[in-house]
A and B are shown apart, each in its own frame.
Chain A
Amino acid sequence: MPDTDSLLEEDVALDQPWNVVVYDDPVNLMDYVTWVFMKVLSLPKPVAEKRMMEVHEQGRSVVWNGGREEAELHTQQLQAHQLQAKMEKPGE
């Protein structure tokens, strides 16, 4: 039953938690990135500022983790605010 196996593997892969990762860029203002994290991810200001500084100092930050649909929504919203946001499987 190779077809069934591969379908199951795909389902499991899609159901696993996803990371929403934001990457640093030379254009977006630090205060703006904090503001976007508060608005899109509903992060309290101190947490949003911490994530923003991780992006700035480490080049990237995992700003959210969870199910695929919500991760897609957050990533789309972050990209709509012109941030370099990607969905990644944990461990990548």
Chain B
Amino acid sequence: MKAAPTLDGRIRIDLEDAMDLVVLRAIIADAHARDDDLASRLSAGTDPDLAEDWDDYVLPELRVSFNSQLETIVGALAEVTPGDTLFIGREDAEAWFGGLNQARLALEDRYGLAGADEDAQDGEMKSAGIRSHFYQMLQGMLLHFLMSGGNP
């Protein structure tokens, strides 16, 4: 797989073989592989004076937003096959970034990668660490080349 920014302001990802598509589809699987839902986790510890309203009004909106990010990625990957080139434009950059973030948050929650000794990691954890690192690299490209060079 090759990923690079293009002159017309997109990220180009060349899918060289079937494994590249498997790697990208793992974003969705990783994001879904969590015991709780992200919206609930982010809202945990809300002040008791606000908790009821938060659960009724904010949580559903967060869930819709997070699902929408993953649907954007699912939709983009549904249209490509090995050998194709995938383009991510500015209009989808935040959705891709958010979906990748969901995957990295889920991997962190599941494996505790940030504080882990790499030498002591088993195969499954190593694989999770490699995926998380790959997602982070894609996020860096999205942030710096598409999301206005770090300026909103």
Contact surface of A with B, Cβ cutoff 8 Å? 13-14, 25-29, 31-32, 34-35, 38-39, 45, 72, 76, 79-89
Is B102 a contact partner of A82 (Cβ separation < 8 A)? yes
Q: A31 contacts which of B58, B98, B105, B150 (Cβ < 8 Å)? A: B150
Count, A-B residue pairs, CB within 8 A: 66
Supposing A26-B115, A39-B152 touch, asked if A32 and B62 sit within 8 A by C-beta, the answer is no
* Whole-angstrom distance between the Cβ of B40 and the nearest chain A Cβ: 11
Roughly how many angstroms separate A14 CA and B66 CA in the complex, as a whole number? 29
Is A79 a contact partner of B45 (Cβ separation < 8 A)? no
* Whole-angstrom distance between the Cβ of A84 and the nearest chain B Cβ: 7
Asked if B55 CB lies within 8 Å of chain A CBs, one says no
Contact surface of B with A, Cβ cutoff 8 Å? 38-39, 42-43, 45-47, 49-50, 58, 61-62, 65-66, 97-98, 101-102, 104-105, 108, 113-115, 136, 139-140, 143-144, 147, 150-152
| Top 4 closest pairs, chain A to chain B, by CB | A39-B152, A26-B114, A79-B42, A27-B104
Supposing A27-B104, A35-B152, A89-B47 touch, asked if A82 and B144 sit within 8 A by C-beta, the answer is no
Q: Which residues of B contact A81 (CB under 8 A)?
A: 98
* Whole-angstrom distance between the Cβ of B4 and the nearest chain A Cβ: 19
Supposing A80-B62, A86-B45, A89-B47 touch, asked if A27 and B108 sit within 8 A by C-beta, the answer is yes
